[in-house]
Amino acid sequence: MNTEQIRSAERALSAGTWLIVAGAMLYSILTVTPLAARHTPDEWDWTAPILPLVVDAAVVIVVRLDAVLARLGGNGGKWPVVLRWMTGCMTLALNVADSALKHDLVGVAVHAVAPLLLIVTAETGLAYRRAIAAAVTALEDRRRAEQEDRERAAAERREAAERRAREEREHAAKLAREQREHEAHLAREQTEREERARREERERAEARERAEREARERRERELEQRERERQEREREASRRREEELRAREEAARRERAEREEKAARERAALLAGGPAAEKLPEDRARRIVLAAFEEGLPVRAAAELCGWSVGWVSTRYQELRDSTAPVEVLTR
């Protein structure tokens, strides 16, 4: 069976499946819509066809995606099976519900034909498509193997022809080489003296070139050695500068930490005195207000610590805020 016949079978299967799906959808809409309309408020009767359309749309999705997965040889897992059977059962239940409520067994049987045919067609079509996909894969593998065998045989024939041609060329080359060797042997005696003279001259020229090359290489090695020494000195100087820079940065960090720790101890000492029993001297009061401002204490707490009024402390807080605002802007 060739590829065209397989494609024809697939087209027949697809056309029959979609014909059954379309008929079942139309029959389902015509059957379920009156049932949905009777169980829907009168002002919403126009929504009755939506339910069969939604269920049938799910059927179309299942059939279409199953066809694509089967053609690609994939497997969607358990959820496509659940959706396929759930939509089929919903379609069956909706189609036979009206007859079942009326206890009409003949109506139940008649209205069950299209949903059952749709369910069985979906399952059978999926099985057919998987079988066709497996058969197509096997056919393609067989054709590929046959093509590879033909190509291998053709390659072997080409190799044999090339081998024969190579042997013929080698034989002809061997005869030509023997002829050239004979001619060269006759001419060798005549040219040996000239060759010895040229060889001696060439050896002298090579000796001069070798001496010049050695001298040039020696100069280049000396230049490279001096360049390496210069680079090494520069790297060492750079390393020393980096170490000095790190040492200065570390000293600066330690100095800042010591200043901050000293300032923190001084603020703690100023704030540890508790509420003042009387108004402290202005110089000490200003130091206490500064420490309270830096620690983020409220104005009233600072006023209690220094014994001055809340208004005076508020004025000092505002002065401190005004003096620190440009610094904050610059740090941002």
- Per residue, the 3-state secondary structure of the chain, as one string, reads CCHHHHHHHHHHHHHHHHHHHHHHHHHHHHHHHHHHHHCCCHHHHHHCCHHHHHHHHHHHHHHHHHHHHHHHCCCCCHHHHHHHHHHHHHHHHHHHHHHHHCCCHHHHHHHHHHHHHHHHHHHHHHHHHHHHHHHHHHHHHHHHHHHHHHHHHHHHHHHHHHHHHHHHHHHHHHHHHHHHHHHHHHHHHHHHHHHHHHHHHHHHHHHHHHHHHHHHHHHHHHHHHHHHHHHHHHHHHHHHHHHHHHHHHHHHHHHHHHHHHHHHHHHHHHHCCCCCCCCCCHHHHHHHHHHHHHHCCCHHHHHHHHCCCHHHHHHHHHHHHHHHHHHHHHHC
pLDDT at residue 288, as a whole number: 83
How far apart, in whole angstroms, are the C-alpha atoms of residue 32 and residue 28? Answer: 6
Phi and psi angles of residue 257, each rounded to the nearest 5 degrees, phi first:
-65, -40
Cα 288 from Cα 266, distance rounded (Å): 10
Local confidence band at 266 (pLDDT 50, 70, 90 cut-offs): confident
Per-residue confidence at 262, pLDDT binned at 50, 70, 90? confident
Report the percent of the chain where pLDDT is more than 70: 63
**Backbone phi and psi for residue 281, each to the nearest 5 degrees, phi listed first:** -55, 150
**pLDDT on residue 328:** 45
In angstroms, the first-to-last Cα distance of the chain is 80
Taking CA atoms, 243 is separated from 3, 247, 250, 252, 257, in Å, by 78, 6, 10, 14, 21
Could you report the per-residue pLDDT of 48-103, keeping only the tens digit for each?
566 666 666 666 667 666 666 666 666 656 666 666 677 777 777 777 777 777 77
Task: Give me the pLDDT at residue 307, please.
Answer: 80
What is the phi/psi pair of residue 272, to 5°? Answer: -80, -5
Q: Mean pLDDT, to the nearest integer, of 249-256?
A: 84
Q: Does residue 318 carry a pLDDT above 80?
A: yes
- Residue 55 amino acid letter: V
CA distance 77 to 104: 38
Give the Cα separation of 310 and 304 in Å (integer): 9
Among 88-92, 254-258, 284-288, where is mean pLDDT lowest? 88-92
Identify the pLDDT of residue 294.
82
Angle 170-176-181 from CA coordinates, rounded to 5°: 120
Write out pLDDT tens, residues 97-128. Answer: 777 777 777 767 776 766 766 766 766 666 66
pLDDT tens, position by position, 132-167 = 666 667 777 788 888 888 888 888 898 988 889 889
The answer to whether 284 and 316 are in contact (CB under 8 A) is no
Q: Which of 9-23, 167-181, 269-283, 301-315 has the lowest mean pLDDT?
A: 9-23
Question: What is the model's pLDDT at position 332?
Answer: 39
Measuring CA to CA, which residue among 63, 106, 59, 68 is closest to residue 86?
A: 59
CA distance 203 to 145: 64
- Please say if the pLDDT value at position 327 is more than 50: no
User: Picking from 59-63, 223-227, 234-238, which range would have the lowest pLDDT averaged per residue?
Assistant: 59-63
> Looking at residue 330, what is its pLDDT?
33
pLDDT on residue 38: 65
Rounded distance between C-alpha atoms, residue 240 and residue 229, angstroms? 16
pLDDT band at 250 (very low <50, low <70, confident <90, very high): confident
pLDDT for the residue 42: 64
